[in-house]
Amino acid sequence: MVSVQDIELFADGLDVQRAAEIYHEHGCLVVRGLMTPYIAEVQRDIEATAAQSLSLLDRAERIVEGWRTPDGTLFIPAPPHYQRDKQIMVLAINYQTSAAFFRSALDEKLLDILEAIIGPNIELFGNGQCLYKEPVGGHPKHLHQDAAYFEHRYDGPVAVLNYVVDTDLNNGALHVVPGSHKLGQLKHVDTFSHLGLDENEWRWEDALPICGKAGDSIFFHYRCIHGSKENYSDKSRPVFIHRYRRPDDYVIISATTTANRAEAEKRAAEAKKTNQRGLMVRGFRAYQED
């Protein structure tokens, strides 16, 4: 069984080639302290967004995944004992709303690691994401592969998930299954936290928990199985995620439920790069015809 030490490096004195080797072998990589310089400011903006979204909750609209406030935060049902009937799941902080958040996505050391993994030309995929677990029971995110949500034509994006607070088994540490990126696309089912793997086939005991400090980063392949349990602490447990891909890659299937995935699969062959060009963060995008 792979241990945390096998997939872990430290931002100080980092060997980027070793980082890429770990990533390619295990589909995941931990870099301790990579995001430390940004955490105070990002956390401030995350908590400001959470307060804003809660103040807008009475204007939330019903959507297939739960409820969405006018500022874009996704809420899902809260556990029965909670103070509200809805809890935050995906918080609407992104590259348009937070300068600190955007700056952290352009960190040079982070991009050096990505260059060793992806190659010299790198674009951002998406607008940045923040998964937010409220205190005392904030939702689990079932084990899953991100490719179930956004399957790509080529290698798919590399995710970099960053701890905003010290995170352990009590408040929702990320769990990963090293090597699972080599299993191909697995069948997902509908769960409380949207697409997930069947709990009878993939159990938490099959996954490696990554405890860490605020500022630690976890890189993972979009087919690396991962998830996180509830937050039982009395404080929020946010993480923020940046995703990067080679500039010619693009989504061919986009889904959140088994029903909308089945529909999207039918249209996969028609997908094109058009309108999917993210901001370049390293290198150059050469013109390419669709």
Ligand X SMILES: O=C(O)CCC(=O)C(=O)O
Residue 288 burial by CB count (10 A; 0-12/13-18/19+): exposed, middle or buried? Answer: exposed
- State in angstroms the smallest separation of the CB of 126 from ligand X: 11
The set of residues, in sequence order, having a beta carbon less than 8 Å from that of 161 and lying 6+ positions away, is 174, 217, 218, 219, 220, 239, 240, 241
Could you tell me if 272 and 250 are in contact, meaning their C-beta atoms sit under 8 angstroms apart?
yes
* Cα gap 108→114, rounded to integer Å: 10
Nearer to ligand X among residue 33 and residue 172 (C-beta): 172
Classify 194 in phi/psi space as left (phi over 0), alpha (psi -120 to 50) or beta: left
- The smaller minimum CB distance to ligand X, of residues 108 and 205, is found at 205
Phi/psi region, residue 232 (left: phi>0; alpha: psi -120 to 50; beta: rest), is alpha
Nearest approach, Cβ of residue 174 and ligand X (Å)? 5
At closest approach, how far in Å is the CB of 272 from ligand X? 25
Q: Where does this chain bind ligand X (CB under 6 A)?
A: 131, 141, 146, 172, 174, 226-228, 239, 241
Whole-number minimum distance, CB 89 to ligand X, in Å?
9
The least distance separating ligand X from the CB of residue 78, rounded to whole angstroms, comes to 16
Cβ closest to ligand X, residue 207 vs residue 239: 239
241 close to 53: Cβ distance less than 8 angstroms: no
> Between 20 and 239, whose beta carbon lies closer to ligand X?
239
Pick 86 or 223: Cβ nearer ligand X: 223
CB 193 within 8 A of CB 141: yes
